[in-house]
């Protein structure tokens, strides 16, 4: 016990002496633990909140649409094996005329059954009440839309239902599990100001859209463990005669799919980022402890001679490393808890949950602690094992001098003939190549984190250019309530301010290639159209379908199809005939999965004249208000998407997160750089203090001595930065692959600005660390240093 108390006293003195280095290591380690706790904790909270909300609100398992199906079909749908509940309803899009904005807004209107409460996708009232059955002017609105316009029960606005403009009154505000993330048609980001969800009494909607005794949307829930594939197949067969568009499940439900994508990104963050910081921490512990053991080699031999066992001595150094690890773990726990709470709260507002279940499992903290302590333990173990097993006599003897071998740097020195200080720097690097390489790798990791963290903003710039400049060049999209002949474009061009109009058609279809199939909307347009182009974002070229079909590359990959292959196309609302179409091209698309054909080709297959569902238009901004008034009054137009507003919403979202993201990744990278550079400089100072003091006595200036010590780190930093930029590009490529989904994909773009930012952060952190060590060099007591033994 007495022996251990003596070593414990030494342990306390060591921690006090190395407090700055220990804190730098603990800070790096704490970031790894923090990200692990934050990402897993947020993911757990978000998952628990989602699952609880879905269960309580009876979130559906399967959705499908039809043109007009009779209510009598509901009993047949309910008889499908595995189906627990069926709810038939009406779903339509409409234009809203809101009192607080000039441009028209768009709404998706859903029916509420006569019972007053949906069997599935239950509505959570936040304010007011449900619309009364038969009350033609009462609506319920989603909370996000109400907050965007500061609406409350009692407020009124106008909505056009099947060509009839009607004043309606808000009687309640609600949340729905179907719309925790609300995106309107033609949009890529939520716009709660211009797109809202309305609920009205079923009989009112049925009368307005001539759907009495019928439905055009159906939702299903199934019993636990039911295979959804046969359920969807049977549902499709039943709806096929009534213009069914093909069932889909939660995986394709837009709101849920975006949430799943966010959870997947959190999982990627939790699994990729923390190991980087923990590995760097292990390296730093090994570096500091290894040098400390080398300096205390004689003391270790003396302790062994006095009777201390190898285990006791090894345990002393291991406790030092675990103490540093424990400090980092505790800091990481606290920061992770706070960050997890903050992120979970943001997600709840972003995804419009009615409540937050902040779930924090002890296992997350245990795993974080275990990972942090293991990193410290592993780093210490590699250092301790070198001398712990030495006999007292060997340990008390000076280590054998390093064997000199003429290497590449020595040959370089002979060729370049640098001045003496530079020669000393190069020889120091050549003497310890492994240590120099590991230091270089640690600094490179810092640069790679900046690149991997900020490349997304470069990718977003490219994405926006492709989406809003190259592929989509229209000012607005006008959607028609029903399909219209191409002559409707003449009427569209007669609207105030419309300079040009081009039409397009979207047809629900099933694409099959071999054993793979996918239900998708085929977009058909005239080949001469240039407002919306089939554009390849990778090669920056337009790809024309000609007499075949063009697919998004991710869709083609899903179907395992290549250019020249034959795709089976079945138009879901146009009978059960299957057409063979050649795949004439693929395009890199960043939003959704699309298929493209020429309008005449689709019309010929369907045996009818070409029709249109929407018009892409160019607008004279001087006539915007007049156009908006005309759209609100037009019975043929069911919705409008203003592209500049879609772009503005995307830009605002990116701008909000850009500053925060830049700050976070800069701090993380700076912590690694400072931890590596500062500890490396301190170790070199302790190793070469006597040598540097001798140079000072011989007449070298403080600047020259500082140059000899810190020049090595500056050279390693210069080498590390380009290595880190390459590593960062590789990490960004891996992240791009992990983020791919049916909803979106990021292009891999890294600009010079991002590279310069990464290099600047690493260089700045290196300079700060060097200045701190430089102060120690300037204050070095030459007499005291010269009295110390090598």
Per-block mean pLDDT, blocks of 10 residues, the chain (790 long): 64 76 82 86 86 92 92 93 94 90 89 88 92 89 93 93 88 93 76 91 91 93 92 91 88 86 80 82 78 73 76 80 88 86 76 82 86 86 70 63 58 61 68 76 84 82 81 88 89 92 90 89 90 85 89 90 92 84 89 88 90 92 87 82 78 66 73 76 68 70 72 84 90 79 77 89 84 71 54
H/E stretch holding 390: none
Q: What pLDDT does 779 receive?
A: 66
CA–CA dist 310, 319 (Å, integer) = 14
Cβ distance 37 to 332 under 8 Å? yes
Q: What is the DSSP letter of 436?
A: H
Tokens read off for 283: 């390296």
354-375 per-residue burial string, b: 16 or more CB within 10 A, e: under 16: bebbbbbeeebbebbbebbbeb
Cβ distance 211 to 243 under 8 Å? no
Domains located in the chain, CATH noted:
1-59+250-400 (no CATH), 63-240 (no CATH), 432-473+645-790 (no CATH), 498-619 (2.40.40)
If we measure between CA atoms, which residue out of 732, 90, 159 comes closest to residue 459? 732
Q: What pLDDT does 790 receive?
A: 47
CA–CA dist 551, 281 (Å, integer) = 47
CA–CA dist 231, 228 (Å, integer) = 5
Tokens read off for 94: 């409409």
Task: Say which residues have a Cβ less than 8 Å from residue 459's Cβ, sequence separation at least 6.
Answer: 736, 746, 747, 748, 749
Tokens read off for 375: 């990193």
CA–CA dist 755, 440 (Å, integer) = 17
* pTM of the full structure: 0.77
Could you give the count of Cα atoms lying within 13 Å of 41 in the half-sphere of its Cβ? 29
Query: 712 by DSSP, 3-state: which?
Result: helix
Compute φ and ψ for 538, nearest 5 degrees. -80, -50
Task: Say which residues have a Cβ less than 8 Å from residue 428's Cβ, sequence separation at least 6.
Answer: 684, 712
Compute φ and ψ for 220, nearest 5 degrees. -130, 145
């Amino acid at each position: 016990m007495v022996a251990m108390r003596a070593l414990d006293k030494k342990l306390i003195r060591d921690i006090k002496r190395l407090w700055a280095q220990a804190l730098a290591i603990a800070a790096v380690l704490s970031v790894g633990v923090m990200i692990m706790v934050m990402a897993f904790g947020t993911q757990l909270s978000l998952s628990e909140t989602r699952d609880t909300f879905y269960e309580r609100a009876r979130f559906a398992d399967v959705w499908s649409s039809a043109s007009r199906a009779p209510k009598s079909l509901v009993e047949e749908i309910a008889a499908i094996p595995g189906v627990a509940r069926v709810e038939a309803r009406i779903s339509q899009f409409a234009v809203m005329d809101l009192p607080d904005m000039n441009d028209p807004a768009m709404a998706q209107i859903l029916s509420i059954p006569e019972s007053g409460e949906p069997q599935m996708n239950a509505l959570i009232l936040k304010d007011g009440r449900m619309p009364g059955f038969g009350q033609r002017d009462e609506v319920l609105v989603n909370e996000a839309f109400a907050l965007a316009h500061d609406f409350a029960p009692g407020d009124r606005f106008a909505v056009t239902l099947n060509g009839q403009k009607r004043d309606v009154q808000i009687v309640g505000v609600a949340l729905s599990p179907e719309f925790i993330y609300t995106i309107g048609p033609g949009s890529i980001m939520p716009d709660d100001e211009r797109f809202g969800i309305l609920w009205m009494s079923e009989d009112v909607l049925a009368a307005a859209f001539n759907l009495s005794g019928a439905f055009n949307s159906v939702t299903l829930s199934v019993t636990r463990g039911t295979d959804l594939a046969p359920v969807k197949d049977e549902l499709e067969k039943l709806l096929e005669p009534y213009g069914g568009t093909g069932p889909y499940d939660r995986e394709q439900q837009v709101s849920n799919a975006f949430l799943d994508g966010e959870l997947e990104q959190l999982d990627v963050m939790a699994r990729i980022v923390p190991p980087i910081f923990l590995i760097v921490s292990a390296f730093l512990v090994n570096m500091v402890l290894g040098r400390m053991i080398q300096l205390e080699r004689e003391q270790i031999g003396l302790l062994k001679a006095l009777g201390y066992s190898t285990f006791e001595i090894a345990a002393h150094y291991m406790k030092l490393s675990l103490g540093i690890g424990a400090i980092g773990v505790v800091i990481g726990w606290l920061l992770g808890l706070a960050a997890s709470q903050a992120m979970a709260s943001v997600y709840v507002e972003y995804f419009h949950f009615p409540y937050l279940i902040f779930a924090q499992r002890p296992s997350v903290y245990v795993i974080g602690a275990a990972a942090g302590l293991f990193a410290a333990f592993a780093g210490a173990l590699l250092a301790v094992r070198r001398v712990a097993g030495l006999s007292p006599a060997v340990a008390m003897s000076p280590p054998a001098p390093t064997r000199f071998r003429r290497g590449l740097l020595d040959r370089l020195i002979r060729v370049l003939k640098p001045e003496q200080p530079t020669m000393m720097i190069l020889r120091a690097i050549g003497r310890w190549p492994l240590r120099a390489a590991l230091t270089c790798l640690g600094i490179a990791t810092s640069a790679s984190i900046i690149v991997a963290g900020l490349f997304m903003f470069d990718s977003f710039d490219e994405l926006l250019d492709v989406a809003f400049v190259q592929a989509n060049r229209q000012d607005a999209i006008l959607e028609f309530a029903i399909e219209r002949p191409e002559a409707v474009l003449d009427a569209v061009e007669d609207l105030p301010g419309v300079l040009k109009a081009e039409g397009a058609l979207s047809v629900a279809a099933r694409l099959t290639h071999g054993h793979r199939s996918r239900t998708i909307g085929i977009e058909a347009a005239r080949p001469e159209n240039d407002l919306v182009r089939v554009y390849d974002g990778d090669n920056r070229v337009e790809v024309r379908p000609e007499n075949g079909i063009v697919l998004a590359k991710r869709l083609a990959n899903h179907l395992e199809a290549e250019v020249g292959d034959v795709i089976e196309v079945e138009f879901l609302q146009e009978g059960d005939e299957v057409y063979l179409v050649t795949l004439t091209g693929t395009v890199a698309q960043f939003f959704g999965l699309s298929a493209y054909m020429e309008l005449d080709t689709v019309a010929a297959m369907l045996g009818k004249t070409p029709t249109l569902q929407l018009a892409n238009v160019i607008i004279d901004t001087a006539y915007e208000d007049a156009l908006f008034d005309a759209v609100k009054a037009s019975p043929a137009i069911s919705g409008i998407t203003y592209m500049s507003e879609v772009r503005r919403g995307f830009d605002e979202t990116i701008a909000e997160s850009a500053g925060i993201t830049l700050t976070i990744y800069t701090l993380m990278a700076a912590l690694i750089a400072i931890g590596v550079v500062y500890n490396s400089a301190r170790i070199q100072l302790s190793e070469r203090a006597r040598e540097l003091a001798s140079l000072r006595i011989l007449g070298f200036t403080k600047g020259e001595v500082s140059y000899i010590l810190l020049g090595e780190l500056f050279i390693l930093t210069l080498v590390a930065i380009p290595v880190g930029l390459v590593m960062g590009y590789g990490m960004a490529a891996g992240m791009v692959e992990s983020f791919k989904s049916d909803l979106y994909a990021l292009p891999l773009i890294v600009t010079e600005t991002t590279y310069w930012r990464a290099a600047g952060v690493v260089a700045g952190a290196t300079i700060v660390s060097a200045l701190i060590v430089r102060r120690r060099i300037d204050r070095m007591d030459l007499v005291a240093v010269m009295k110390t033994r090598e």
